[in-house]
Chains A and B, each alone.
Chain A
Amino acid sequence: RKEVEQDPGPFNVPEGATVAFNCTYSNSASQSFFWYRQDCRKEPKLLMSVYSSGNEDGRFTAQLNRASQYISLLIRDSKLSDSATYLCVVNMEDTGGFKTIFGAGTRLFVKA
């Protein structure tokens, strides 16, 4: 089982739609969680951290369910500029220290 799994996508949505990304992680000792955004042929960049109480940043809402080992990202009122790949990220302790594991990403296409 992969350490971090995401919806395979791609998601094709019209402008203004609400879209949800889901992610599960296998290591219950995982410490912190993030969503990254990656544009085509670019490096991933932090979109937002995910806190246990849930957090919101404008049109973006992230939630964490530690009991179910589940993370979500909700984008409201999608814009054309939201088209990108969204990566679920988990930091976890390991015998060698700690490591940052990325999900395979879900590609989003927002159409006019």
Chain B
Amino acid sequence: SQTIHQWPATLVQPVGSPLSLECTVEGTSNPNLYWYRQAAGRGLQLLFYSVGIGQISSEVPQNLSASRPQDRQFILSSKKLLLSDSGFYLCAWSGYIRAEAFFGQGTRLTVV
């Protein structure tokens, strides 16, 4: 069966520090991969999605970047965090256009 791993679960980082969140999927090949952010009390905002290795589509301009160095690995990064980067970051995967998405447990990031 397929599983998705996302870590860390909780992170507190100072303003201006770098960020690296990692997500890996097991049990499937060539998944669509996603990074979402959810601010407190708000909906999910799609940040990036990827249909294959090295292929990244960015949905909104921001202080973040994403990379997919391997088929089942998706990384969210920032060189310098802002206070506004705080939120709940969720990685997800789906198999094909008609398929539902499955989420990792999320990383709660607080920038202080």
Contact = CB atoms under 8 A, between A and B. Distances in A.
Interface residues of B, number: 28
Contact of A49 (B42, B100, B102): B100
Contact of A46 (B100, B105, B108): B100
Interface residues of A, number: 26
Interface stretch (B11-19, B67-75, B79-87, B90-98): B90-98
Contacts of B99: 32, 91
A34 B99 CA distance: 9
Pairs of residues from A and B, 4 with the lowest C-beta to C-beta distance, nearest first: A104-B43, A97-B51, A96-B57, A43-B103
A31 B97 contact: yes
Nearest to B96: A98
Interface of B: 32, 34, 36, 42-44, 46, 49, 51-52, 55, 57, 59, 88, 90, 92, 94, 97-106, 108
Contact of A97 (B43, B44, B55, B105): B55
Contact of A104 (B36, B42, B51): B42
A98 B97 contact: yes
Contacts of A99: 32, 34, 46, 49, 57, 59
